[in-house]
Amino acid sequence: MAPARVEAVHRSSVHGFSKHAEDAIALVAGLGVEGDAHAGATVKHRSRVRRDPTQPNLRQVHLMHAELFEELMAAGFPVWPGELGENVTTRGLDLLGLSTGTRLRLGTQALVEVTGLRNPCSQLDKFQPGLMQAVLERRDDGTLVRKAGVMAVVVQGGEVRPGDAIEVLPPEGAHRPLEPV
């Protein structure tokens, strides 16, 4: 298997569903993606701001695996990187299998820490009917699997570009499965 890498990067200065492809994005420690509507030390997702605008922003950077787009296309959902709102599209990395607290070096400088799973919302069905169900799965034991990527905070800033290597730095201690954040 090829080493994990960044396939695409995206941002949007407005609160919308999809984000625009960029040649590069700048990650800013403690804030997120420079110029992105979701950047900030406190929550920026509108539903979370309504509940409590003082909550820490554990969703500064959204990462999604390119393999999900291939799975969705095969199931009849024409979706492309950036259209589901992620900032960083990865390839060759089992994002959903990471432990809470895993750090990812993106390129040579940027470092993010995985905080949890993206919890898919009904906006997916507004984008394409049936898409929300397509990013959810049930294991044989009934456990719900959320496949819509992971969320992270920026520990160290830096520029991230398509083609950049991704280095996985697992946290110490036992594996802690990702939960929705």
Q: Is residue 128 part of a domain?
A: yes
- Chain centroid to CA 15: 16
Q: pTM to 2 decimals?
A: 0.96
- On whether residue 49 sits in a domain, the answer given is yes
* Structural domain containing residue 146: 5-161
Which residue type, as a one-letter code, is found at position 152?
A
Residue 7: CB partners within 8 Å, gap ≥ 6? 66, 81, 89, 90, 91, 162
Report the DSSP beta bridge partners of residue 105: 111, 167
- How many CB atoms sit inside 10 A of residue 37's CB? 17
The domain that holds 132 is classified in CATH as 2.40.33.20
CB atoms within 10 A of CB 61: 29
Specify if 63 maps to a domain.
yes
Where residue 1 falls among pLDDT bands split at 50, 70, 90?
A: low
Kindly state whether residue 80 falls inside one of the protein's structural domains.
yes
pLDDT tens digits, one per residue of 94-147 = 999 999 999 999 999 999 999 999 998 888 999 999 999 999 999 999 999 999
169 belongs to a structural domain: no
